[in-house]
Amino acid sequence: MKKRSEKKFMLTGSLTGIPFTEIAETCPAGIFITDPAGNCHYVNNFWCKITGLTKTEVKKTFWLDLIHPDDKDNLSGAWERFKMDKSPMINEFRIIDKKGITKWLAGVIKVLESLKNSESPIIGIFLEVSEIKKTGAESEKYRMAYKNLIENSFDAILLTSPDGRIFSANPAACRMFGRSEEELCRLGRDCVVDHSDPRLAKALRIRDIKGNFFGELRMIRKSGKKFQAEISSSIFTGETGEKYTSMIIREISQKRLKSGTGNVTRKSFESRYFKEYQDAIENERSQIALELHDDLGQRFSSLKLYLAWLKNRIGVQSQSVKTKLIEMNSLIDESMSRIRDFISILKPSVLFELGLVESLKWQLDRFENQTKIRCNFFSYPEEFNLDEDKSLALFRILQEALTNIRKHADAGSVAVELRLLRKTVIMRISDNGKGFSLEKVNLISSRGISGMKERVKFLGGKFFIKSVIEKGTIIKVSLPTKPY
């Protein structure tokens, strides 16, 4: 214990005309004033709250006596250096309060020239940061646990950006791809993903729309050897608002791929992948439809009001001006009608409001009115109780077929039949157009027909197409009414 000086300090100074003690007592930080020997001459109420001591008890206690034993040596050395060079002492340390509770403090000690008497008093201003330290310790604990989990994972884990940069790779990823972490970070996603895999573009699109992706992709090692892997990837936002992506990669063994169990597992992955892809597309279509309705629809409505206002305000004008106004109004009406058509294509609310049969009739009626191609529809029974996925698939297949007929068939009529045979629903679409070569379609892998086939395959159904030059085309879709 240091021998205390008997010299007293008179706290008669003020800051900006306000007595020092008035400021100190209302300050939400612990404040004490000592002499260079460390004897305490003043403490505010908040310092008493932090230490658990009364003002009388604090003044009888050398402030360094409150310091936690593990911090005392360092702080005593800092205190001695401070007394010599008079530079502000910024530090954080632990104290033990009257109840024996350890608390973290952070703040500054400096010479207080504004209260200078015969000697310069020393002021300490400190905040209790125990909760911050506790939170930081917990965060560090979880960070280390998370790091150990990643470092010891058998799965390859990459921290990346949506544009393909790699920021970190765990040891399993380095072993899987035969590259160091520095090499993976330098080369990016292009060095691990096989860009010739046709599933890659769809996978990235699903992740962009939904925020995550789970499925299979073909990867590539440093040696150039390609392999199949299960991929789980998600997009998340960092503390600074920057977008990051995680990739968890698990290699699929050749044994598993060749085994019956592997085939079933792979089929389930493909089914899930295709459903996620279709759901992502439908969600995107719905979003676009909403934007068209809320944005462009309102803008065109406003334009009509402006034209009506302008027509009423211009008074007597030339006939050509009136004609132009009428033409502009008609053009807006046509544009609004086209927007409604686009919305109905993107988001078939009619399907969920009226049911499958009525929505197919509505689609054919609209097609006939637009193209003047005669349409016939037959349904037995008149109502179908199908689940949403199958109803949407049939609606979209007819939609795609009618689009192809309008663009390419040069047909005079279209016939659509919808039948229920036992536990199978069958839709047959035929036209009397000019037909086409199936070999050519297979060669160019028509997106429209490929999309129909994928939808039907995913739902456990069968897809058939036949086309004869100058005679027309027949599309037949069979779907099980029960889950397959």
What is the tens place of the pLDDT at every residue in 114-172?
Answer: 544 446 788 888 888 888 777 766 666 666 766 777 888 888 999 998 888 999 999 99
Judge whether 41 and 34 are in contact, CB under 8 Å: yes
pLDDT at residue 412 in the model: 93
pLDDT at residue 8 in the model: 43
Confidence of residue 318 (pLDDT cuts 50, 70, 90): low
Residue whose entry in the numeric block shows the structure tokens 């390609």: 226
pLDDT at residue 426 in the model: 93
Q: Average pLDDT of 187-192?
A: 91
DSSP 481: S
Residue 207 has pLDDT above 80, yes or no: yes
Q: In this prediction, what percent of the chain has a pLDDT beyond 90?
A: 16
Greater pLDDT, 343 or 12:
343
Confidence of residue 264 (pLDDT cuts 50, 70, 90): very low
Helices (H), 372-446: 388-404, 438-444
- State how far the Cα of 479 lies from the Cα of 71, in Å rounded to an integer: 76
Judge whether 92 and 78 are in contact, CB under 8 Å: no
pLDDT at residue 295 in the model: 67
Homologous superfamily of 352-484 in CATH? Histidine kinase-like ATPase, C-terminal domain (3.30.565.10)
pLDDT at residue 10 in the model: 45
Q: What are the boundaries of each domain within the chain? A: 14-134, 153-252, 262-347, 352-484
Residue 4 has pLDDT above 60, yes or no: no
pLDDT at residue 344 in the model: 64
Q: In what order do the strands lie in the sheet with 424-431?
A: 374-380, 413-421, 424-431, 472-480, 462-468
What is the tens place of the pLDDT at every residue in 375-426?
Answer: 999 998 877 778 888 888 898 899 889 988 988 889 999 999 999 888 899 9
Both tokens assigned to 308: 């009506």
- State how far the Cα of 434 lies from the Cα of 299, in Å rounded to an integer: 42
Burial class (CB in 10 A: 0-12, 13-18, 19+), 194: middle
pLDDT at residue 114 in the model: 54
| CA distances, 176 to each of 146, 147, 168 (Å) | 21, 19, 14
3-class DSSP assignment, residue 359: helix
pLDDT at residue 116 in the model: 45
Domains 14-134 and 153-252 share a fold: yes
- State how far the Cα of 241 lies from the Cα of 326, in Å rounded to an integer: 50
On average, the pLDDT of the chain sits at: 79
pLDDT at residue 289 in the model: 60
Residue 103 has pLDDT above 80, yes or no: yes
Q: How many CA atoms lie within 13 A of 25 on its CB side?
A: 6
Q: Average pLDDT of 45-49?
A: 90
Burial class (CB in 10 A: 0-12, 13-18, 19+), 190: exposed
pLDDT at residue 12 in the model: 45
Residue 470 has pLDDT above 50, yes or no: yes
pLDDT at residue 192 in the model: 92
CATH architecture of 153-252: 2-Layer Sandwich (3.30)
CATH code of the domain made up of 14-134: 3.30.450.20
Residue 3 has pLDDT above 50, yes or no: no
Q: Rounded to 5, what percent of the chain is helix, strand, coil?
A: 50, 25, 25
Judge whether 394 and 427 are in contact, CB under 8 Å: yes
- State how far the Cα of 220 lies from the Cα of 145, in Å rounded to an integer: 30
Judge whether 373 and 405 are in contact, CB under 8 Å: yes
